[in-house]
Amino acid sequence: MNPWWQSAVIYQIYVRSFADTNGDGVGDLGGVRSRLPYLRELGVDGVWLTPFYRSPMRDGGYDITDHRDVDPMFGTLADFDALLADAHALGLRLIVDLVPNHTSDTHPWFSSPHRRERYIFRPGRGDGPPNDWESVFGGPAWSKDPHSDDWYLHLFDASQPDLDWDDPAVRQEYAAVLRFWLDRGVDGVRIDVAHGLVKAPGLPDAGHAGQDHRGGILPYFDQDDVHEVYRDWRKILDSYPGERIGIAEAWAPTADRLANYTRPDELHQAFNFPFLLSPWRAEAVRAVIDQTMRTNPAPTWVLSNHDVQRHVTRLGSLDRARGATLLMLALPGSAYLYQGEELGLPEVLDLPDGARQDPTWRRSQGREPGRDGCRVPMPWTGEAPAFGFSASAATWLPIPPDWRPLSVQAQRTPDSTLTMYRRALHIRRRMTGPLHWQDAPDGVLAFTRAALTCTTNLTDRDVDVVPPGALLLASTVLAAARPTGAVCLPPGATAWWH
Ligand code: NOJ
Ligand code: CA
């Protein structure tokens, strides 16, 4: 038997947008707990929770004040334990987020006598910052320290100072935090900015503006020495029973460099962002799949998360999104789903400016809309005020009034996106075997895995295909067979045959 995680489908929950139980308009751990049966029925194997730790929420909880406690906004540690127990009782694994690159500036360390060892302070150059590094959220990666003449580094918001991983106390603390959550019983950790902890010695200039934070070669990302940290953590993970896993959120310049994070003595998985970023073209998608399979024997696949435009909008249509999803779910390996994608939710592009909370919006002076549009709360029912997400109409981000037909309740119909996901996840449990590409018309991808064939039309026109077997599932209703026996696959469609 292969380890559980090698084929697992993990459902990402953005806690503050999933379900609210106390009517404050913000999702909470109780809300997650109350909806576990929905996830069980959907057919996923586990859940990854985005940060719910104590935080001033300047970056949606990726700015942590206390790694060992639940923010009162989300509940209590007892709520977490109850949620974990229920998840396990339902056979669902639970993964939590670990954020080691930075803390919040409200973390006690940042105002302690040790702040200069724990974080990265440097004198400026003339009147300017110590080097030319750019924050992922826009603007310089340095801010003036209010308590000295120096500057401190923050690869993200100014309220998220970067830790100095040369300091043994930082390493010890995170090993202890990892153990804290493993001791509580979590099945794994998703590691935020896993490629960022170690910076090039001497903090040299990047040498150019417009630094590419999604795989560019940069002195603050993907340094060789970062892997030492994951070798240590792997030992910790392996010292617990039951195959606890680590998943890297890492951006690397090449597939081979990305695969370094999943060497046998490092982490188990790394998110496959090249797949997510691939243009909707047959050669491009096939190249990414081939490159993934070549570099990683136990790959992951992902199309949406809380940091990118939802794939319905990014790919340009619900048809393509559904087709892309069925393509992804037929690939060998593990898949990550983002809450709401099973409803076919689009990105919300017209949030009022005043509602936007992502620091990217502020730091780019409104040039970048930021990531709030994929973080809008889930619609559960058709009911006012908040489609079952909350008893309050004042949800932390407004839910578009036209989302009623997208709600879970409204999608209990045979052809809905939700039903397609359920069926796909059910069928997927029986899929086995390696991928073999098959001949297909231009712009169409076809592959088999044992007796299953998956065919996707990535063109913008109808394509006739000869059915390689009986139809198991399709991302859209397929037109009746033509006299020749061929079946018409509309643009964006994927079909599974057996
Ligand atoms: C990646 C997280 O997914 C994102 O939401 C966060 O803003 C940055 N890391 C910084 O922690
Ligand atoms: Ca709440």
Identify the pLDDT of residue 77: 98
Query: Is residue 109 within 8 Å of residue 118, measured between CB atoms?
Result: yes
* CA count, 13 A, side-chain hemisphere, 13: 28
Q: What is the pLDDT of residues 450-477, one digit of tens each?
A: 999 999 999 999 999 999 999 999 999 9
User: Is the per-residue pLDDT at 57 higher than 80?
Assistant: yes
CB atoms under 10 Å from CB of 405, counted, come to 12
484 pLDDT band, cuts 50/70/90, is confident
Q: Which of 192, 357, 374 to mutate to test the pocket of ligand 1 (most atoms within 8 A of CB)?
A: 192
Instruction: State yes or no: is 249 an active-site residue.
Output: yes
User: Is the per-residue pLDDT at 256 higher than 90?
Assistant: yes
Question: Ligand 1: which residue has its CA nearest to atom 4?
Answer: 307
Mean pLDDT within 418-425: 98
Q: What is the pLDDT of residues 167-191, one digit of tens each?
A: 999 999 999 999 999 999 999 999 9
- Tell me if residue 96 falls in helix, strand or coil: strand
Mean pLDDT within 141-160: 97
User: Is the per-residue pLDDT at 106 higher than 80?
Assistant: yes
- CB 156 less than 6 A from any atom of ligand 1: yes
- What residues does 444 pair with on adjacent strands? 457
Question: Ligand 1: which residue has its CA nearest to atom 5?
Answer: 307
Please give the DSSP secondary-structure letter assigned to residue 139. S
> How close is the Cα of 364 to the center of ligand 1, in Å?
16
pLDDT above 90: percentage of residues in the chain: 96
Please state, in angstroms and rounded to a whole number, the distance separating the CA atoms of residues 306 and 375. Answer: 6
User: Is the per-residue pLDDT at 480 higher than 90?
Assistant: no
297 pLDDT band, cuts 50/70/90, is confident
Please state, in angstroms and rounded to a whole number, the distance separating the CA atoms of residues 494 and 444. Answer: 10
- CB 62 less than 6 A from any atom of ligand 1: yes
Please state, in angstroms and rounded to a whole number, the distance separating the CA atoms of residues 279 and 263. Answer: 28
Write down the residue that tokens 């940042």 correspond to: 110
Ligand 1 atom at minimal distance to the Cα of residue 307: 5
Identify the pLDDT of residue 102: 98
- CB 307 less than 6 A from any atom of ligand 1: yes
Report the largest interatomic distance among the alpha carbons of the chain, rounded to a whole angstrom.
80
Identify the pLDDT of residue 438: 98
Cα angle 106, 111, 112; round to 5: 130
Identify the pLDDT of residue 384: 86
Residues 6+ apart with CB under 8 A from 342: 42, 417, 418, 421, 422
Please state, in angstroms and rounded to a whole number, the distance separating the CA atoms of residues 191 and 62. Answer: 11
Query: Is residue 343 within 8 Å of residue 407, measured between CB atoms?
Result: yes
> How close is the Cα of 85 to the center of ligand 2, in Å?
20
Please state, in angstroms and rounded to a whole number, the distance separating the CA atoms of residues 296 and 327. Answer: 18
Instruction: State yes or no: is 341 an active-site residue.
Output: no
Identify the pLDDT of residue 485: 85
Joined tokens for residue 229: 């940290």
Residue 478 gets the label, from left (phi > 0), alpha (psi -120 to 50) or beta, of beta
Q: Where are the beta strands (DSSP E) in 400-484?
A: 436-437, 444-449, 452-457, 463-465, 471-474
Q: Which of 251, 307, 374 to mutate to test the pocket of ligand 1 (most atoms within 8 A of CB)?
A: 307
Q: What is the pLDDT of residues 15-33, one digit of tens each?
A: 999 999 999 999 999 999 9
Query: Is residue 70 within 8 Å of residue 79, measured between CB atoms?
Result: yes
The catalytic residue among 249, 307, 342, 358 is: 249
- CB 59 less than 6 A from any atom of ligand 1: yes
- Tell me if residue 436 falls in helix, strand or coil: strand
Mean pLDDT within 117-122: 98
Residues 6+ apart with CB under 8 A from 25: 386, 390, 392, 394, 395, 396
Q: What is the pLDDT of residues 379-399, one digit of tens each?
A: 999 998 999 999 999 999 999
Q: What is the pLDDT of residues 186-199, one digit of tens each?
A: 999 999 999 999 99
Residues 6+ apart with CB under 8 A from 442: 282, 459
Residues 6+ apart with CB under 8 A from 333: 6, 7, 292, 296, 298, 299, 300, 301
Cα 464 vs. chain centroid, distance in angstroms? 35
Please state, in angstroms and rounded to a whole number, the distance separating the CA atoms of residues 118 and 443. Answer: 52
- CB 28 less than 6 A from any atom of ligand 1: no
The catalytic residue among 45, 79, 97, 192 is: 192
Question: Ligand 1: which residue has its CA nearest to atom 3?
Answer: 307
Report the chain's terminal Cα–Cα distance, integer Å: 24
